[in-house]
Structure 1
Amino acid sequence: MSLYSHFHQRLHDLYPQGPLYVAFSGGLDSTVLLVLAAQLAAEQERELVTLHVHHGLQTVAKAWPQHCVQVANELGVDCRILSVKVETGPRVSVEAAARDARYAALAAELPPGAALLTGHHLDDQAETLLLALKRGAGIKGLAAMPESKPLGRGVQLRPLLEMARAELECFATEQGLRWVEDPSNADNRFDRNFLRNDILPRLQTQWPAFARTASRSAALCAEQLELAQALAEQDLPALQNAGGGLSIAGLQSLSPARRNNALRHWLGERGLHLSRSQLEVAWRELALAREDAEPLLAIGGNELRRYLGHLYVPALQGEPVALSALQPEQWHDLGVGRLRLRQVPDVANICGALALNELHIAFAVPGLRAHPAGRSGSRPLKKLWQEYGVPPWQRTRIPLLMLGDQLVAAVGMFICADYAAEADQPGWQLEWIAET
């Protein structure tokens, strides 16, 4: 199968229609990708845009934007130049910082549903797998690069991932293509360059099929990762409480491997990606701490806490925003989430007799008592927080819907009995989207 036929088939399987964007560095891989994409776009009358990210890290790179624009124009394709600033400093990987800046810029350009094509190939996949082994990564790292993944409002596709770099070089030579060479690619102080220039050629000399078999191993790890994620999604609902805490007793009922899988997935959803040793420390120092302890483990800019037999990752972003007035049908940003009150003919949860202009949002009001609908009697709000298992650090972030000095609802927790709507009666529907 020719290179174009392979590319055509992968795009048909991955993204049969819609606008195409090509990440175009001007190097060999992305030049071949752009030529293939331009041919397909012309045949199928699809929109095609080229994006070149200019980092400004090298003097020689000043000429690359002009080169990219010229190559794209010769193919009848629009080329946008995206200039980014790469934040560098002590203990900051220039490679990682440049990659993060590049993908942030590319993602920002994608309209909803669009696809960004990148020129990663089989040799790149082998390098990524070797780097993951060097780091001691688990199946998520060993799964290497997927052929498709979400990016911004669209998706990133790697349609050349099954093709060797030698096949791209052969195509480029046959087509008489011209491309830029990044001099930093020869610097073996960078891990990926060391693998590409020194290690991978040796491996492929000894074992010519190494890149392909390594890619097969990555694909098998990706399958196992998918199964692990499915298992975690099956386990987690029964382990979490209403406040988002994770039950330690529930975790202890699982096998160690299944427990670690659920815990790792739960932490990942909250932006915490722990190494194996960090996960062991978290389990030992938090989950297995004495029952009356409230330990805290700081990890990067986040915290992992324990309270009443549950683990929590407190939200550290966003300050609560009180509101003196509310508008009907309008979403209100409270800093810790968004709230809306709508008038509905049925399935209301707040009594329709309440005048919206008399309500306001407050936080951490001292001395309140409340009688949640469906429960008997009133009690201090502090006591209710304990009964509902709300950790102390979350209590000041719960919006309180107030009528004067009376509590109408603890948003996201309960509505007070005196203000709850009757079943199937018109009234106010309180809607809440918590910060994640």
Structure 2
Amino acid sequence: ASGHMAGAATLLREVLPTPATVHSVMGDPGLALDELTLAPAHAAAVKLRSWLQVAGYLAPDQAALQEFLRQLRVAAVDAKPRLECSAFTLQRYRDVVYLLPDDNEAVCTDSFSLTTGEVSDVPGVGRVSLEPAVTNGLSLASGERLTLAWRQGGERCRPLGRAGGNSLKKLLQEWDVPPWWRDRVPLLYLGDELLAVGDLWLCRSSRAREAPAAGQGLWRLCWQRNIDALDEDRVADGD
């Protein structure tokens, strides 16, 4: 009987295509919820195992996998079922199941200064820098020092080009930023003035410009996030 079941599982893996990878606005890799909830339980398990294998991970034991799939099926629309394993974490957000970034590294909570052309590696956040921009940038003097800080609650801004402003909390939700990223988004300040929210948008401010004036350079906040993404080299190597 066990041999028959193993053979059936192998056949399913050959017949069922590996689900396509989708990405959050922050770049987190994931697979569509429908891939796992509309398929029979055994087929959903095969799909998830196959997707994890392409990502370079071993799936958890059958009991843990089936329980996670069960939670995905019965959970309310706004619920966030989560599967934590030693090497990775999966969590549903809206209509996608995402592979979360490594959270073993403590997330930075201290503010620090950043100047034009400078690159800084921030624990739990990634690499941030101020780089030249052609349009939609910040008018900054060479070597001008700004401050990077993190969400404390109560912040408000008006995205450049938008008619009205809102709380940062509401804007992050509106931009579909997953919950696990919202406290990691670097906020760029000049004094008490919020200039940029990560690399997501510029705030309307005294330094925001849609185009540079004559002889003026523009700068933008660049953010290379710590994401364990599915890339072509990893898939090709089968790591």
TM surpasses 0.5: yes
- Whether 1:338 and 2:119 are equivalent positions in the alignment is no
> Which residue matches 2:90?
304
> Which residue matches 1:369?
156
State the secondary structure of the residue aligned to 1:342.
strand
> Which residue matches 1:240?
23
> Which residue matches 2:200?
413
Larger helix percent: 1
Q: Does structure 1 retain, via aligned residues, the 8 Å contact 2:115–2:146? A: no
- Whether 1:351 and 2:134 are equivalent positions in the alignment is no
The structural deviation recorded for 1:357 is 3.2
State the secondary structure of the residue aligned to 1:305.
strand
Work out the number of aligned pairs and report it: 210
Q: Does structure 2 retain, via aligned residues, the 8 Å contact 1:326–1:360? A: yes
For residues 427 and 289 of structure 1, the distance between their equivalents in structure 2, rounded to whole angstroms, comes to: 47
> Which residue matches 1:327?
115
> Which residue matches 2:80?
294
> Which residue matches 1:427?
218
* Identity between Structure 1 and Structure 2 (%): 30
> Which residue matches 2:172?
385
Aligned CA distance change for structure 1 residues 379 and 361 (closer, same or farther; 3 Å):
same
Aligned CA distance change for structure 1 residues 264 and 356 (closer, same or farther; 3 Å):
farther
For residues 50 and 189 of structure 2, the distance between their equivalents in structure 1, rounded to whole angstroms, comes to: 37
For residues 180 and 202 of structure 2, the distance between their equivalents in structure 1, rounded to whole angstroms, comes to: 21
- Whether 1:282 and 2:68 are equivalent positions in the alignment is yes
Counterpart code for 2:226 = E
> Which residue matches 2:184?
397
Root mean square deviation of aligned Cα: 3.7
State the secondary structure of the residue aligned to 1:375.
coil
Q: Could you say which structure has the greater relative contact order, defined with CA pairs below 8 angstroms and 6 or more residues apart?
A: 2
State the secondary structure of the residue aligned to 2:209.
coil
For residues 420 and 266 of structure 1, the distance between their equivalents in structure 2, rounded to whole angstroms, comes to: 42
The structural deviation recorded for 1:311 is 2.2
> Which residue matches 1:167?
none
Paired residues for 1:34-433 under 5 Å: 232=19, 235-236=20-21, 239-243=22-26, 244=28, 246=30, 248-251=32-35, 263-264=48-49, 267=52, 272-275=57-60, 277=62, 278-286=64-72, 288-300=74-86, 302-315=88-101, 316-321=103-108, 322-335=110-123, 336-344=125-133, 347-353=134-140, 357-418=144-205, 419-423=207-211, 426-433=217-224
For residues 300 and 282 of structure 1, the distance between their equivalents in structure 2, rounded to whole angstroms, comes to: 15
The structural deviation recorded for 1:359 is 1.2
Q: Give the gaps of 5 or more residues in structure 2.
A: 228-239
Q: Does structure 2 retain, via aligned residues, the 8 Å contact 1:340–1:432? A: yes
TM-score (normalizing by structure 1): 0.40
Larger strand percent: 2
Counterpart code for 2:58 = H
TM-score (normalizing by structure 2): 0.68
State the secondary structure of the residue aligned to 2:70.
helix
